[in-house]
A and B are shown apart, each in its own frame.
Chain A
Amino acid sequence: GENVEQHPSTLSVQEGDSAVIKCTYSDSASNYFPWYKQELGKRPQLIIDIRSNVGEKKDQRIAVTLNKTAKHFSLHITETQPEDSAVYFCAASSGGTSYGKLTFGQGTILTVHP
């Protein structure tokens, strides 16, 4: 089955800096890659997703890049703000009979210092 590795496990940045979180996946059939933000005690919130027919997607300060050949994808947050502090999870789904089965990474605790 699919395996998703996420790095780093913790990331500390100063307000205004950029943050990058990287994930690798094992199943070459995976074709959907969402990123979720989870604040303490709250539900995971979808912040951006990308499908395998696209190499990059951007939404304001957040961008995701995908390298299918190397089987890795990354989340980029620019101009970080204290409210970006949360746990971020990447995930992968391979479609077919695995539609809706998201395999998650272990999470990255992002702390943005004012």
Chain B
Amino acid sequence: ETGVTQSPTHLIKTRGQQVTLRCSSQSGHNTVSWYQQALGQGPQFIFQYYREEENGRGNFPPRFSGLQFPNYSSELNVNALELDDSALYLCASSLEYLSETQYFGPGTRLLVL
């Protein structure tokens, strides 16, 4: 059984650019949630995908969007990057969306200059 993986590990972008982050869920898990963790803060829920459909969204603007693929891997896309988007982006997978236990990936650290 493989754990949750994310790529890339680090990324540097400039304001206004667009970024795509990727997540492979744990084997057998069909639900992926994305979180943003600013330095010194707890993770904040961005959105969740279940069987390729968005299944709940936190308080983030529409320039944060996502996709889930038939193999349950997922992407987080952020358009028009702002300095405040600098953070650790974590994805977490769970067996079913009704299963609350979530396992996190190692994260992608994004720096926006």
The reply on B86 being an interface residue by CB < 8 A is no
- Which residues in chain A, 44-95, are within 8 Å of chain B measured between CB atoms? 44-46, 49, 89, 91, 93, 95
Which among A42, A97, A100 is the interface contact of B94 at CB below 8 angstroms? A100
A101 touches B33 (CB 8 A): yes
Interchain CB contact under 8 A, A100 and B97: yes
Assuming the contacts A100-B48, A104-B43, asked whether A44 and B101 have C-beta atoms less than 8 A apart, the reply is no
Enumerate chain A residues within 8 angstroms of B31, measured Cβ to Cβ: 100
Known: A99-B56, A100-B31, A101-B58. A45 touches B104 (CB 8 A): yes
Does chain B have a CB within 8 A of A103? Answer: yes
Interface range on chain A (Cβ under 8 Å from partner): 20 to 34
A98 touches B56 (CB 8 A): yes
Q: Is there a chain B Cβ closer than 8 Å to A13's Cβ?
A: no
Q: Closest approach, in angstroms, between the C-beta of B54 and any C-beta of chain A?
A: 12
User: How many angstroms between the C-alpha atoms of A36 and B94 in the bound complex?
Assistant: 15
- What is A's interface to B at a CB cutoff of 8 Å? 1, 4, 6, 32, 34, 36, 42-46, 49, 89, 91, 93, 95, 97-107
Residues of B within 8 A of A (CB): 4, 31, 33, 35, 40-45, 48, 50, 55-56, 58-59, 90, 94, 97-98, 100-107
